[in-house]
Every structure is written in C-alpha cells, then in structure tokens.
Structure 1
Amino acid sequence: MTPTLISPASQADIPALNDLVNSAYRGDSSRRGWTTEADLLDGIRTDETGLAAMLANPQATILKYEQDGQLIGCVYLEKKGDRLYLGMLTVSPDAQAGGIGKQLMTAAEQLARDWQCRAMKMTVIPQRHELIAFYERRGYQPTGETEPFPMDDTRFGLPKQPLSFIVMEKVLETA
C-alpha cells in the first residue's frame, strides 16, 4: 500500500475532481455515504467549468487526497480577508468514515495558519444535521448568520425545497 498524499490540485485533476464531487453529493452513488444531498437537491454539485474557475482564483486552492494513486477526497479553500473559507469537503462514498475528512480539515486549518488567517469559515445547509454535528465536533460553531441559497443558479443544483445556509466558524489557535 502506498502512502496517502494531500496536495494542491491542478487543472489536470479537474475531470477526476468533477467525478468525485458529484458522486459524493448527488445521485444514487452518493447514497452509499452519509454526506449525500440527493434528498435536498437534484442536478449536479459542480462541473468542470466551475472547478476550473475555482483553481484559477489566486486566493483559492483545492486540496486533494490521494491513496494508492486514486483521488478519494478534496476540499475547496478560499482566503477571504483574515478567514479561510472551507467548502466542498468531499470524500468518496466508499471511503467515508475512515478519517479522510478529518485529515483534509487538519490540512486546511494548517494552510489557514500558513496564510495568516485567524479563523475558518463555512456555510452549511441547516437540514444537514449530521454534517453540522461533524463540524461541531471539530470546533466549528454556528455564528447566528445565515445566507441565502442560490435558488435560481443551477450550477449548485436544483433545490427540492426552500434552502438556505447557516454560517459556521472556528477561531484558530496561533502557534
């Protein structure tokens, strides 16, 4: 078994990232894991154009998690002032509950410190109770803020019900 590797994604990774993210969030394949949004949203979670735009942002990166040469996890990170926004945390449905999400979050928090960020920030659909609990166990807390879900932008999926986001944040300890 070769070691696992967390590293920044490149444009060459876009097709594999697209397959991974959509398999983990939508459709029947996502139901094998606990992070599915299939009951809340139809359509795709992302596309190659959106991923290319994420990677082209000089304030952002996508960390990928590879094991035995296979892409099985990723997370999108974007510096916004003194916070690092964490989104699209993804682990293959067949590899969930093995600590990969925790490892990606640890790497993200280290990157935030390296980039001089004082906190991590994320948005979560409030109906995703298990996911919110997962983040709370890792020190993230709801801020009381909410943000609207892009109801008319099909790039993020087609809501099956009215949706919004809650904002969660974790203040980082300094070294």
Structure 2
Amino acid sequence: MDDPIISTATVADVSELNQLVNSAYRGDSSRQGWTTEADLLSGLRTTEADLYESLANPQAQILTYRAAGRLLGCVYLERKEAELYMGMLTVSPDHQTGGIGKRLLVAAEEMAKGFGCQMITMTVISQRHELIAWYERRGYRSTGVTKPFPDDPRFGVPAQPLTFVVMAKSMGEGQPR
C-alpha cells in the first residue's frame, strides 16, 4: 500500500463510509472477506443518517484508513468517562488480512491512552467466533457480560437469535500483536 493515512472522518466522508461498512458486513460483497455477518443478518449495517449522527456526537469520532487515496478501513470510537467504546472496526473485504484492522486497532488504543482512558470496550456478536478469537489474540477478553441484539430492523434482521458479548482490554496491558 502506498502511504497509508489514518485520520478523523468528516461529514464529507459519510457516503464513502456508508458504502465501505455495508460492503464489509452484509450482502454478497462481504463474503469476499472473513468478517462477514451475511449469514447471521440481512439488511444494512449502517446508514448515512446513523453516520451523520455519530459524527455529530462530541464524544465520538470515526478514524479512517486510506491508501492511494482509497478508503479501506474505519473504526468508531466513543469516550465514555474512563472507557473508550470501540465499534464498527471495518476493513474493505478485498483488503482483509493485510494488517489494516491491526493498524486501526493500534490507533484506537493510542487514542484511548491519549484520552487517559483506562479501558477499551466493545460488543461482538457471540456467534462471531473467529472475530472474538482475533480480538483475544490482541489482548481483549470477554467481561462475562452479554447484551441482547437490538430488536430493531435498523440494525439488521437476524437469521437466528443473536446476543453480544462485551469484550475489554485494559490500557495498562502490552500492545496488541
């Protein structure tokens, strides 16, 4: 990749972010990568309205990863007192396994430390075993807390009952591998 750049998204990025996130999580295009949710959920992963709302939140931001001018990844981060909530870690299906997700994860962790956050937390669909294992290899652990998947078609229509596991990593631990 030529000169990758990680920066903060702006409203000008919303349309491109919407396309990236939905292509990576849902539908046939997501099956090119290993992070697809297409067998678990139908519908959209996000909308432009949701992304505008996220960018309007003063406690939140979306980091973008671009190489050769192309948006290849993003991650949503929201400060919640001493924690940084991380969600929507996304890599273009045709660029997965190239280290972009790891780079975004490291950037999120550096941001958490810069904010003085003690911990990063996230929710992962419990049926996403490979993804949970990927986070575990980077120092994230299940907290033992589960949350119900929203009963709202705006978040997708589950093909089976789904729950979230809450994962966390203390910012006092070593860097991810």
| Structure 2 Cα separation of the partners of residues 162 and 126 of structure 1 | 10
Residue matched to 1:103: 103
Residue matched to 1:5: 5
RMSD: 1.2
- Structure 1 residue runs of 4+, over 4 Å off? none
| Structure 1 Cα separation of the partners of residues 20 and 115 of structure 2 | 27
Say if 2:129 is the partner of 1:129: yes
Residue matched to 1:145: 145
| Structure 2 Cα separation of the partners of residues 9 and 108 of structure 1 | 14
TM-score when normalising by structure 2: 0.96
- Displacement after TM superposition at 1:142 (Å): 0.2
| Structure 2 Cα separation of the partners of residues 146 and 81 of structure 1 | 21
| Structure 2 Cα separation of the partners of residues 2 and 160 of structure 1 | 39
SS of residue in 2 equivalent to 1:133: helix
Q: Which amino acid aligns with 1:165?
A: F
- Displacement after TM superposition at 1:173 (Å): 1.9
| Percent identity over paired residues | 63
- Displacement after TM superposition at 1:156 (Å): 1.1
| Structure 1 Cα separation of the partners of residues 118 and 85 of structure 2 | 11
Within-5 A mapping of 1:1-175: 2-151=2-151, 153-173=152-172
SS of residue in 1 equivalent to 2:61: strand
The answer on whether the counterparts of 1:64 and 1:74 sit within 8 Å (CA) in structure 2 is yes
- Post-superposition Cα deviations, 1:3-58, rounded to whole Å, max 9, x if no partner, equal 00000000000000000000000000000000000000000000000000000000
Unpaired runs of at least 5, structure 1:
none
| Structure 2 Cα separation of the partners of residues 81 and 2 of structure 1 | 36
SS of residue in 1 equivalent to 2:106: helix
Q: Which amino acid aligns with 1:95?
A: H
| Structure 2 Cα separation of the partners of residues 129 and 163 of structure 1 | 13
TM-score when normalising by structure 1: 0.97
| Structure 1 Cα separation of the partners of residues 78 and 158 of structure 2 | 25
